[in-house]
Structure 1
Amino acid sequence: MENRLSKLRKSMEKSTFKELSFSERMRKEIHKQINMPAEGDEVITLAILQLLLQEKTGYELTGLLRSRGFKKFEDNEGSLYTILHMLEQKRLIASCWDSEGTKFYQIIDKGRKYLRKQEKTSAAGRIVMKGLLEE
């Protein structure tokens, strides 16, 4: 895999990137974006499940996730629907269509159990970290 990526990079340097030039400020901004800690899929999944305790549309979810500080969906709302589809496949949520053609999502029993388990695990982790930081 690494060899193929290396060949791709060399090929792109000869053609695609040959005419590109970046200012130092732009390089720093790019590196900053690359090195930002990613919003973990697990954290996003938990937030979605928490929000779906009441029935919501994908559009509503996008707004609520943004208000919680998740930036993953700002320029790529479609990726939320990929996650929702995956959660449906795992039978953690269910969806239904209303008479106007709007799709709604809501957590189901298996999802509630999963959510409670993950919240307990993350709460225990926070308690341990808090104890370590206070010592």
Structure 2
Amino acid sequence: MEERLNKLRKSMEKSTFKELSFSEKMRKEIHKQINMPDESDDLLTVAILQLLLHEKTGYELKGLLRSRGFKKFEANEGSVYTMLHTLEQKRLIASCWNSEGTKFYQIIDKGRKYLRKQEKESSSGRIVIKGVLEE
């Protein structure tokens, strides 16, 4: 198994990451942002809105937030639904039920405007970097 992983890594270095390069300044900024423990409600809201550009369930959203490094919902997984309900009340997202009884969430026009505004105002770039890496 180890040999297969080494071959895969070498293959990826030759093809996937060959053209990818970062300046030292950008590399330091990315490391700083990745290791940044900040999980403010504003950052979390923007991350949720970015992820809801395409329809998702709360369960899918929770997993994607975890993959982005947000740990707020690990201790209380149900709190993601509280946040989604709040965003719905603010008219940033909308929800609908499918025929199997699953609830889906998606960003709406007011949420898109809010998202664009927050991404423009973001001085750290963390939100934008995470959004690009997720898609």
What's the TM-score once normalised by structure 2's chain length? 0.64
Question: 1:87 — aligned with what?
Answer: 87
The alignment covers a number of residue pairs equal to 90
Question: 2:20 — aligned with what?
Answer: none
Cα root mean square deviation, aligned = 1.6
Query: Percent same amino acid among aligned pairs?
Result: 81
CA distance in 1, matches of 2:63, 2:37: 21
Question: 1:61 — aligned with what?
Answer: 61
Instruction: State the AA in 2 paired with 1:50.
Output: Q
CA distance in 1, matches of 2:64, 2:72: 12
Question: 1:48 — aligned with what?
Answer: 48
- In the TM superposition, residue 37 of structure 1 has moved relative to its aligned partner by 5.2
Gaps of 5+ in 1: 1-35, 128-135
- In the TM superposition, residue 92 of structure 1 has moved relative to its aligned partner by 0.3
What's the TM-score once normalised by structure 1's chain length? 0.64
Which runs of structure 2 are paired with 1:10-49 in the superposition (5 Å)? 39-49=39-49
CA distance in 1, matches of 2:37, 2:46: 18
Gaps of 5+ in 2: 1-35, 126-135
> Which consecutive aligned stretches of 4+ in structure 1 deviate over 2 angstroms post-superposition?
none
Question: 1:110 — aligned with what?
Answer: 110
Matched, 1:70 2:70: yes
Q: What whole-Å deviation, never above 9, does each CA across 1:13-39 have from its counterpart, x for those lacking one?
A: xxxxxxxxxxxxxxxxxxxxxxx9551
| Secondary structure of the structure 1 residue equivalent to 2:105 | strand
Q: Which structure has more helix as a fraction of its residues?
A: 1
